[in-house]
A and B are shown apart, each in its own frame.
Chain A
Amino acid sequence: MNRKLPLIISSAAILFTALVTRNGILLLLLTPLLIRFIQKAETENFSFEISREISDRRIRENEETEVILTIKNTGSAIARIRIEEHPSSSMEVTGGKTSILTTMPGDSFTTLQYRVKCRRGRHTFHPVSVETWNHFGLNRQRFKLESDDEIIAAPDSIQLGSLPINVRKTLVFAGLNPSGQGGDGVYFYDTREYQSGDSLRHIHWSAVARRPEKLISKEFEQERVSDIGIILDARHDAYEECGNSSSIEYAIEACSALSGILLSLQNRVGLLIYGKYLNWTRPGYGKMQNERIRHELSLVETGTHQVFKSLKNLPENLFPERSQLIFISPLMSNDIDFLRRLKGRGYMIIVIYLDCLSLSVDRDPLVLKLVRLEREIMIGNMERAGISVLKWDLNDSIENLIQRNRGKLRMALRGVR
């Protein structure tokens, strides 16, 4: 709104009437209008400093955080100023104010305090828009003030109660996974003839009672750490093929839950996000690694890059030889060849197949039936190749999926077909 135009038109109308009627007293009406034009333009020395104080820059999905935006006027006094903060559309303002109209003397500051709730992802702020006017609402000037602040919202993960992990290949360090080798441990593994140095507490007295001619010792299963690689499929086409591109959120949820439980079981876990680009999180242990994985998961977006359209460019050498791989994907029809190749190289593979079709309600039933049939055939072929497939109905939780497939998982991880 240019507010000068109506003032000029009104002034012209008064002047014209005064001239036509030859009535000088009418010119008095011009006085308040002229005062507006005589007012000095207050737009010369405006300069601002902006800073944002965010209570938590790294939050969980749908968690709230408080933002305090401070704008300092380092120039001359401003009669009327409107400050507008623009959080990105992925942030929901749940309280407080994101705009203010006020006055600002020179060297003063004003703050805007509000709370936002964020979806998963990296959230940035648009430039803060500042508009200034003089006392009469004239001489408008606009500024855009930028500040590189961001909030990262990690996916909200479900804490899985347990995961029947029993990996075939273990590392040398002590962990919680049965290694299939006798030694020190908790769970009974085998019996053997007593050797000097064996603790008397480990003598298998029942066996000795049956064959009193020699002493028999109990052997326990060694528990070691394992190498587990999680591959998250972030190919846009894979999700689009099943008609629901937002299903990646389920994949991320599963990925977060699985990495959480696997790390808590003292495994070495790595993550590869395959889609927009290759995002490789090197294998590691513990809470720090969990945080690293969650950070990467918070930034996942599906990608349509031609190079990553099929799995053939997935660098399998990133994962330690014969390690356990968990592939989370809605699967594309040509993925089976690559998975077979991986299996052939000695990797143990579990596929968590996201049944996106379970969320489709508006599809032609015949089309749905045909697609389901095609997927069933593909899953059958995979299982015949020794790949364990857990079919996840997305209306159900990941925890229920794991609980329902405990036996299957245990067998898969032991390497039994």
Chain B
Amino acid sequence: MIRLTRHISLGLTGLLTAVSLYESTPPALVISALLLSLLWIFLSGRFPLLHNLMLPLFVLLVLLGHLFGNSMIIGLLLFYLILFSWDIDSLYFHSKGIILKDDELKLLHPLLMRYILSAFIVGFVWLISAQITISISFWPLAASTLILIVLLKKLFRN
């Protein structure tokens, strides 16, 4: 089941990213999205570095799509799909292809629950942000910088 879910979600990620980029961006980006998803499906098993590269690359495509005029809601949904694919991919490779049927549900269930929870949080923030216009001024900028520093600190600690 995990294998099938992985293939479907990776395929969908590539396809939907390409579709989202189709109208607003140059065709090269569309083709890149499709090629990247093919690489991800078929070669990330042989080259684990590809797995790590795919998340930033697809995030970049989503951000580019947003810059070229895609709506935020599409970007957000795509981003969720990419993250989900990335997590399923990690689950598949951690299992090394061997996983018992009973365990598949046990592993997938908490992951899905966390996605639903985070979707609720994002939806809630979205609803609030729809009421007030957020433009980056001093305080958000300071908060963002702090978050970045915390993330970098985590990176170097590891």
Which residues in A have some Cβ–Cβ distance to B below 8 Å?
1-15, 17-19, 21-35, 37, 79-80, 82, 97, 99-103, 131, 133, 135-137
Closest to B110 in A: A135
Cβ distance B1 to chain A, nearest Cβ, rounded Å: 13
Interchain nearest-CB distance for A359 vs B (Å): 40
A6 and B56: CB pair below 8 A?
yes
Neighbouring B residues of A25 by C-beta, 8 Å: 72, 129, 134
CB contact under 8 A between A32 and B141, given known A21-B67, A24-B136: no
From A27, A32, A34, give the contact of B83 (CB < 8 A).
A32
The contact of A32 among B52, B53, B80, B148, by CB within 8 Å, is: B80
| B residues apposed to A, CB below 8 Å | 48, 51-56, 59-60, 62-63, 66-67, 72, 75-76, 79-80, 83, 86-87, 90-91, 93-96, 98-100, 103, 106-107, 110-111, 114-115, 117-118, 121-122, 125-126, 129, 134-136, 140-141, 144, 147-148, 150-152, 154-155, 158
**Complex: A33 Cα to B48 Cα, angstroms:** 21
Specify the chain B residue showing the minimal Cβ separation from A22: B136
**Bound form: Cα–Cα A322–B99 in Å:** 65
Q: Is the interface of B mostly helix, strand, loop or mixed?
A: helix
Q: How far is the CA of A80 from the CA of B109 in the complex (A)?
A: 12
Distance in angstroms from B48 CB to nearest chain A CB is 5
Per the bound structure, the CA–CA distance linking A10 and B151 in Å amounts to 11
Do A100 and B98 touch (CB < 8 A)? yes
Q: Which of A29, A31, A102, A131 contacts B75 (CB 8 A)?
A: A29
Distance in Å: Cβ of A182 to nearest Cβ of chain B: 73
Q: How far is the CA of A80 from the CA of B148 in the complex (A)?
A: 28
- Cα–Cα distance between A27 and B72 once the two chains are bound (Å): 11
Complex partner residue of A82 from B94, B151, B158, CB under 8 angstroms:
B94
Alpha-carbon distance A103/B102, docked complex (angstroms): 11
A37 to B150, CA, bound (A): 10
Task: Known A-B contacts: A9-B56, A103-B107. Give 15 more (CB < 8 A).
Answer: A1-B51, A2-B158, A5-B52, A5-B155, A6-B53, A7-B55, A8-B152, A8-B155, A18-B136, A27-B144, A28-B126, A29-B59, A31-B125, A35-B114, A101-B99
